[in-house]
Amino acid sequence: MSRDDELAIEVGEITDEVIDVRARILRAGMDPATAHFPGDEHSCAVHVVARLGGQVVGVGSLIPEAIGDRPALRLRGMAVEAEFRSQGIGAAILERLLEVADARPDEISSTEPGVGEPEPIWCLARVGARSLYERHGFVAVGAEFAIEGIGAHVQMLRTSL
C-alpha cells in the first residue's frame, strides 16, 4: 500500500457503506438497488469493510447460498476502490472472510452444528480477478460466461482444506 495508514478490516452486518461501495464499483450505471443481494440480512451472513486511514477502500460478503442442492457459502460483492487496487486490499478482504468462515463454520453456515464437513465457498468471479481467487484455493468450475451489463465471469469453488 502506498500510504502510511494501516489497513483495518471490520467484520459485521450489512451496512449502507457496503451497499454504496457495491453500487458504485460493481453496479456502476445500474439501479443502486441491484447492489443489495438476497441474503444480505441473513443472520449468518458476514460482511467485511476495509478502511485505510478511516476511508472505506473495499468490501466483501459471505452469504449462505446453496450450490445446486448442497449447502454452501457464497462470496459476493468483493469490491476495492480503483485507486487502491493492486495493493493487497482485495486479498486482505478475501483472507479475512475465509478466516471467519474457517473459524466459525457452524455459525455462518446452514448445516447442523457438528454435522459433516464445513460447507464449500463459491463465487461468480470477474475474469480479471480469477487469479486472486486461485491464489486462495478456489478452482474454476465450467467455462467463462457473460453477465449482461456487468461483464465476463467464471464460477469458482473452494472446499475447506
- Looking at the chain, list the stretches that DSSP marks H as alpha helix, in order from N- to C-terminal side: 16-25, 89-103, 105-108, 130-135
At residue 105, the pLDDT reads 52
Query: For residue 161, is it within any domain?
Result: no
Q: What confidence tens digit (pLDDT) does each residue in 7-17 have? A: 999 999 999 99
d(CA 63, CA 161): 20
**Is 74 among the domain residues?**
yes
Q: For residue 54, what is the domain's CATH number?
A: 3.40.630.30
The answer to whether 56 touches 17, Cβ cutoff 8 Å, is yes
Domain-embedded: residue 138? no
Residues 6+ apart with CB under 8 A from 40: 14, 47, 61, 63
Is position 127 within any domain?
no
Quote the domain boundaries for residue 12.
7-115
Give the three-state DSSP class for 12: strand
Q: How confident is the model at residue 124 (pLDDT cuts 50, 70, 90)?
A: very high
Q: Is residue 23 part of a domain?
A: yes
Q: Is residue 137 part of a domain?
A: no
What total of structural domains would you count in the chain?
1
Residue 73 lies in a domain: yes
Mean pLDDT, residues 139-155: 88
Q: What is the pTM of this model?
A: 0.85
Closest CA to 144 of 156, 132, 131, 161: 156
3-state SS class at 47: strand
Identify the three-state secondary structure at position 65.
Answer: coil
160/59: higher pLDDT: 59
Query: Which string of DSSP letters, residue by residue, matches 15-30?
Result: -HHHHHHHHHHTSTTS
Q: Terminal CA-to-CA distance of the chain, rounded, Å?
A: 29
Do the domain assignments include residue 34?
A: yes
